[in-house]
Structure formats: structure tokens, C-alpha cells
Amino acid sequence: MIDKVNIIKFNRTNLKMLSIIALTVALAVLIPMSFAGSAHALTKYENCVINAANSHGKLSLSDVLNCYDKEFKGAQGSDADGHPL
């Protein structure tokens, strides 16, 4: 016959393993999702730069900076190192 103590140990071991697996799966799903927003902003920035270059026939530094400030709102009012102007 199976001892009750062994059944309780077995259940606790299963619970620990299921917790580890659930945490691993949750992290595997959530971490890539966190990068999706920044990848979308980068795509919008690249599209803005391409449109600016195509509209003028050339690309200037001011076009690049305008697109950067337009797509990455936190960059407005700071220098290249991120310090406030």
C-alpha cells in the first residue's frame, strides 16, 4: 500500500515542478511581447525617414532628427546623451 506521507511528498513535488514550468512558459510568452512595442516604434521611425528622403530627394540630418522626435516622444527636449537641454 502507498503511504499517505509519500502521496503528500509526491503532490508537493508535482506542484513545484508545475510552478516552475508555468513560470518558464509565462516568461517565454511575456518577454517577446515586451519587445513588440519598441519594434513597432522603430518601424514607424524607419518609415518616416524613408518618406522624408523620398519627398525631398535627399535626406538631411534635420529630417532624421525630426522623425526621431516624432516617433520617440521621450527624446524631445534632450541632447544625444539623453540630458535635458
Residue 75 has a pLDDT of 62
**Are 71 and 52 spatial neighbours (Cβ–Cβ below 8 Å)?**
no
Residue 53 has a pLDDT of 93
Question: In a structure prediction context, what are the per-residue pLDDT tens digits for the chain, which is 85 residues long?
Answer: 566 666 666 677 777 888 889 999 988 888 877 766 667 778 888 999 999 999 988 999 999 988 988 887 766 666 666 677 6
Residue whose grid cell is 524607419: 46
The residue type at 62:
S
Residue 71 has a pLDDT of 82
Q: How many other C-beta atoms lie within 10 A of the C-beta of residue 81?
A: 5
